[in-house]
Amino acid sequence: MALPLPVALAIIFIFLTYNIYQWLPYKLPPGPRPLPVVGNLYDIKPVRFRCFWDWSKIYGPIISVWIGSTLNVVVMNWELAKEVLKDNDQSLADRHRNRSTEKFSRGGQDLIWADYGPHYVKVRKVCTLELFTPKRLEALRPIREDEVIAMVESIFNHCTKPENLGQSIKVKDYLSKVSFNNITRLAFGKRFENPDGTLDEQGKELKTIVDNGVKIGGSLSVAEHIQWLRWMFPVDEAAFNRHATRRDNLTRVIMDEHTLARQKSGGAKQHFVDALLTLQQKYDLSDDTIIGLLWDMLQAGMDTTVIATEWGMAELVKNPRVQSKAQEELDRVIGLERVMTEADIPNLPYLQCVAKEALRLHPPTPLMLPHKANANVKIGGYDIPKGSNVHVNVWAIGRDPTIWKDPIEFRPERFLEEDVDMRGHDFRLLPFGAGRRVCPGAQLAIYLVTSMLGHLLHHFHWTPAPGVDPEDIDLAENPGLVTYMRKPIHAVATPRLPSHLYERMPA
Ligand code: HEM
């Protein structure tokens, strides 16, 4: 039965008045004027971090953005980032879960989507003390090197075919393979790729589940942001449940395979499945948590390393001076008679600066992952009420002209002149965040990105696709939580080492 118009209007009036009234006691950061119900939802441009940066020029370095009925605070200078990630770290360490992440993480039973509390502290401890230790990362080094060499071999085979000479390749396709194989071998202890480069059955299933997760996650309607409208737009429970069951089934099969292998061999391997299964009792980890953690690694580690390396390559193709300088260093330190290994990285300071400069200008998660306030706090003199989301625009901080000279210029030398930490100790450079939620995979990611860039530069000379001038390479970003290039870089790879150095020796 429809409500009579005056009653409907009265309800709307009471609702709107309540909405305004509840925020009156707070001194909120300034920001664009929100509309009733939808807030600023329709003012936000698709590339959010750029839009927020533009707004900061009008409203200042801390702004309020209403996404539907949820207050989102965005901070855009290093001092405020420090207030968020250091001074008020614990009060701002919860996560906002939408209905999709709520379902997939079983209410935050994993790490990424867990609120700060005893469960989070326990799982984080497993990551710090067990999974991402220097010893384990070192033990997994042969896997990373094998995958990077497999990429080099595959590019070499492609670009030396007579019909492909002088043709460009889509660099991202090759990086994605390294990342997929590397993270799946690290997390699931298996290479899902057949010798001919196709995926085996489990690999296909895994990829379908990853793609399906992205699809279902993106299917949430606008009502996701407007709490009281949600009842009108229920999520497709059946699709969510099917997806979760499929993910769990595949993971359990892989877990069982490893349990059997351990029973036969009597020893555990270094990858995360074996590590977590052998630590299950010690840390009292549920199966849901183990499954959640394994998939967290895929979710957090796969795109991010590809993105960082792709942007690095785009900048190197656009800036031939930097490319030559990095190659001179590689030739001097490694020579032309052997391939680079991760052990060379400490002797390649300029290459390290190239990776850092790529992460400064193009952080793969430009707004990090949103933090949620679990208490009322003050940032920059403004109130941040409990329940608000807080974002640090690390992309904007990386380009702040008050801290970086010629901020838009890709100039790795700036880090030779001043060594700036990028793992959460210096708030001017935060590609991995900082504080208690800082990325636990940062060191692994740095190894992988530096190694991929180093190999690509040592083995090949890179030029833009035929007909494209370096200055015409488009450096615009795709919208999204992670920031791929809007137009993936295409470049011509010309081998520069003897041909026997392009062969992968299967592990
Ligand atoms: C260049 C590559 C990477 C970048 C730029 C990056 C960046 C980040 C950022 C900004 C966060 C959020 C920090 C916060 O909320 O304050 C994060 C969280 C996380 N990252 Fe990374 N990451 C990268 C690679 C990896 C890799 C390779 C792994 C693992 C295999 C990984 C695992 C995680 C996990 C599990 C979290 C959640 C931590 C938590 O909520 O406590 N990341 N990462």
Number of separate domains in the chain:
1
Q: What whole-number percentage of the chain has pLDDT above 70?
A: 93
Report if residue 507 sits inside a domain: no
Report if residue 72 sits inside a domain: yes
User: How far does residue 334's CA lie from ligand 1's centre (Å)?
Assistant: 31
Which residue's CA is the closest to the ligand 1 atom numbered 26?
301
Report if residue 434 sits inside a domain: yes
- What pLDDT sits at residue 214? 79
The answer to whether residues 362 and 313 touch, using CB atoms and an 8 Å cutoff, is no
Report if residue 412 sits inside a domain: yes
User: How far does residue 300's CA lie from ligand 1's centre (Å)?
Assistant: 5
pLDDT in tens, 119-172: 999 999 999 999 999 999 999 999 999 999 999 999 999 999 999 999 999 999
Residues with CB under 6 Å of ligand 1 are: 111-112, 124, 183, 296-297, 300-301, 304-305, 308, 363-365, 368-369, 431-433, 437-441, 444-445, 449
The 3-state secondary structure of 208-251 reads: HHHHHHHHHHHCCCHHHHCHHHHHHCCCCHHHHHHHHHHHHHHH
Specify the ligand 1 atom closest to the Cα of 448: 27
CA separation for the pair 79, 61 (Å, rounded): 10
Report if residue 506 sits inside a domain: no
Question: Domain range spanning residue 435?
Answer: 5-501
CA separation for the pair 489, 485 (Å, rounded): 8
Which tokens go with 441?
């995979």
Phi-psi region of 380 (alpha: psi -120 to 50; beta: other; left: phi over 0): left
Specify the ligand 1 atom closest to the Cα of 308: 1
Report if residue 478 sits inside a domain: yes
CATH of the domain at 459: 1.10.630.10
Question: Which helix (H) or strand (E) element contains residue 137?
Answer: helix 134-139
Average pLDDT over the chain, rounded to an integer: 93
pTM listed for this prediction? 0.94
Which residue's CA is the closest to the ligand 1 atom numbered 20?
439
Which residue's CA is the closest to the ligand 1 atom numbered 40?
112
Specify the ligand 1 atom closest to the Cα of 296: 35
CA separation for the pair 178, 29 (Å, rounded): 43
Segments in the chain below pLDDT 70: 1-3, 8-9, 11-21, 218-235, 506-507
CA separation for the pair 149, 451 (Å, rounded): 10
Pocket test for ligand 1, best of 360, 369, 439, 484 (most atoms within 8 A of CB): 439
Query: Running DSSP on this structure, what letter comes out for residue 390?
Result: E
- Please state the residue numbers annotated as binding site: 439
Report if residue 166 sits inside a domain: yes
Sheet holding 371-372, edge to edge: 62-67, 70-75, 389-392, 371-372
- What pLDDT sits at residue 375? 98
What lies within 8 Å, CB to CB, of 429 at 6+ separation is 356, 359, 360, 397, 398, 420, 421, 422
- Please state the residue numbers annotated as binding site for heme: 439
Pocket test for ligand 1, best of 127, 147, 432, 448 (most atoms within 8 A of CB): 432
- What pLDDT sits at residue 196? 86
CA separation for the pair 315, 364 (Å, rounded): 15
